[in-house]
């Protein structure tokens, strides 16, 4: 998606350790109107008319997923990290490694909100190694729900998570795939 | 807001320890179209035309705040919990007690995204003792920004956080104030 690539080039920062920051419009300060444009682009690729739930993981995926959910008129579920007292029994759980926080976290989702009747579109803001995504896929599988596809705003192509998912046969649609992020030469995007 | 009270009565659950669950439409599975109705109600109370940033705290406030942000055409900022490697220097920090997680957490917000030029509307899904809210107010103060007001979907009136904020002179608008939640007799709302 050209508008997203341009925005990444204009506002994105490349930090040591291959960290890419786009937190001025995507995942700290969020330009929700722009998220609406991303939502429209996802809807060109996926048949959202058959989707019954949008699924994401807290916290940074929620804003984009909420705008998609609002525009499509489909409820959104966000998997939570770790256990709070507000969630009683009946949970799907999946342990994932978070490279952002450098520790294992357990993604949880109440069984009430994703069932075998659901057709799920997973939406997330970012994907690198795809660890959190495998947790979400695990939840969809535990629920016996149907996966419609996976929509990602920014994929760090050079970290391989997306290619693994594609090789597994998933319909993964990333709006921008960054194949190289060099503090000197900037961003290089994959041609798709 | 009558529609919200009705929905709480119909779908809300009261658990031991004064825990109120409305996670089927507000903060786990999210009915974002309904969030749009809440956003419209907030816009009847607050003059959103002068607001430059919507501020909330991760994670459960993000969905509602994102829908408000999208509808008003105003960027949203969410304060994060604890430090991730993706946030370099230049942070506002405020330590708050989380009763949900029974531990202290530090709310952080990059200084880039709230400045003294901003007029901030704080939006959150829930308020009980108001601990997280004081963290958000602290961030607004540190930024030297102007606080336009505080919009809350569900206030647990009997836990006092809202009344404290009102006595401090804040323009706090809660769409439903629960003054009593009894597993036997159900919900009693404050008449406002």
- The pLDDT value given to residue B87: 55
| Owner of token pair 């920051």 | A21
The strand ranges marked E within B1-51 are 13-15, 19-21, 29-30
Instruction: Measure the CA–CA gap between A187 and B7, rounded to whole angstroms.
Output: 47
Residue positions counted in chain A? 192
Q: In Å, how far from its chain's centre is CA A109?
A: 16
Q: What is the pLDDT of residue B18?
A: 82
Give, for B1, the enclosing helix (H) or strand (E). none
Nearest residue of chain A to residue B88 (CA atoms):
A15
* pLDDT surpasses 60 at A87: no
List residues in chain A touching B: CB distance below 8 A: 15, 17, 19, 21, 23-24, 28-33, 35-36, 53, 58-59, 62-63, 66-67, 69-70, 73, 75-78, 80-82, 84-88, 100-102, 109-110, 112-113
The partner residue sitting opposite B62, judged by closest CB among A17, A62, A113, is A62
CA angle B57, B129, B124 (to 5 degrees): 30
Distance of CA B81 to the CA centre of its chain: 15
Asked if A102's CB is within 8 angstroms of B30's CB, the reply is no
SS3 at position B187: strand
For residue A66, give the nearest of B21, B30, B113 by CB distance.
B30
pLDDT band at A84 (very low <50, low <70, confident <90, very high): low
Residues on chain B touching A62 (C-beta within 8 angstroms): 58-59, 62-63, 66
- The CA-based angle B39-B40-B41, given to 5 degrees, is 90
Q: If you average pLDDT over residues A8-18, what whole number do you get?
A: 92
* CB B180, CB B30: distance < 8 Å: no
Tell me the angle at which helices B2-11 and B32-45 cross, rounded to the nearest 10 degrees: 140
Environment class of B49 (CB within 10 Å of its CB; exposed 0-12, middle 13-18, buried 19+) = exposed
* Position A145 pLDDT exceeds 60: yes
Task: Please list the pLDDT of chain B residue by residue as tens digits (192 residues).
Answer: 999 999 999 999 999 888 899 999 999 999 999 999 999 999 999 999 999 999 999 999 999 999 999 999 999 999 998 755 555 679 999 999 877 667 888 999 999 999 999 999 999 999 999 999 999 999 999 999 999 999 999 999 999 999 999 999 999 999 999 999 999 999 999 998
Q: Which pLDDT does position A48 carry in this prediction? A: 98
Express each pLDDT in A96-128 by its tens digit.
987 766 788 899 999 999 999 999 999 999 999
Q: Which residue has the tokens 């690729």?
A: A45
Q: pLDDT by residue (tens digit) across A22-47?
A: 999 999 999 999 999 999 999 999 99
**DSSP conformation class of A142:** H
Rounded to two decimals, the pTM is 0.95
Amino acid B97: pLDDT: 85
Q: If you count residue pairs, one on A and one on B, with CB atoms under 8 Å apart, how many are there?
A: 137
Q: In the prediction, which pLDDT does A103 show?
A: 80
DSSP-derived 3-state class of residue A79? strand
Does position A135 have pLDDT exceeding 90, yes or no?
Answer: yes
Tell whether the torsion through CA atoms of A163, A93, B14 and B151 is positive or negative.
negative
Structure tokens of A30? 């969020």
Contacts of A23 in chain B (CB under 8 A): 86-87, 110, 113
pLDDT score for A86: 55
Rounded to the nearest 10 degrees, how much is the dihedral formed by the CA atoms of A124, A128, A131, A134?
50
**Are B77 and A30 a contacting pair at CB < 8 A?**
yes
Question: Token digits for B133?
Answer: 């809210």
Q: What is the pLDDT of residue A83?
A: 57
Assign A179 a pLDDT band (cuts: 50, 70, 90). Answer: very high
């Amino acid at each position: 998606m050209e508008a997203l690539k341009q925005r990444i080039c204009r506002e994105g920062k490349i930090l040591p350790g291959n960290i890419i920051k786009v937190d001025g419009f995507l995942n700290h300060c969020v330009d929700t109107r722009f998220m609406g444009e991303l939502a429209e682009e996802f809807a060109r690729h996926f048949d959202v008319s058959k989707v019954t739930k949008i699924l994401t993981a807290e916290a940074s995926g929620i804003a984009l997923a909420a705008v998609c959910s609002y525009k499509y008129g489909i409820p959104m579920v966000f998997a939570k990290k770790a256990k709070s007292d507000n969630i009683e029994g009946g949970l799907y759980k999946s342990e994932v490694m978070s490279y952002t926080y450098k520790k294992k976290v357990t993604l949880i989702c109440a069984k009430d909100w994703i069932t075998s009747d659901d057709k799920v579109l997973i939406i997330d803001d970012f994907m690198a190694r795809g660890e959190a995504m495998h947790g979400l896929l695990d939840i969809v599988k535990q629920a016996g729900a149907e996966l419609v596809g996976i929509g990602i705003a920014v994929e760090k192509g050079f970290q391989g998570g997306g290619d693994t998912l594609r090789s597994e046969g998933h319909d993964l649609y990333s709006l921008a795939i960054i194949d190289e992020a060099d503090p000197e030469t900037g961003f290089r995007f994959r041609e798709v």
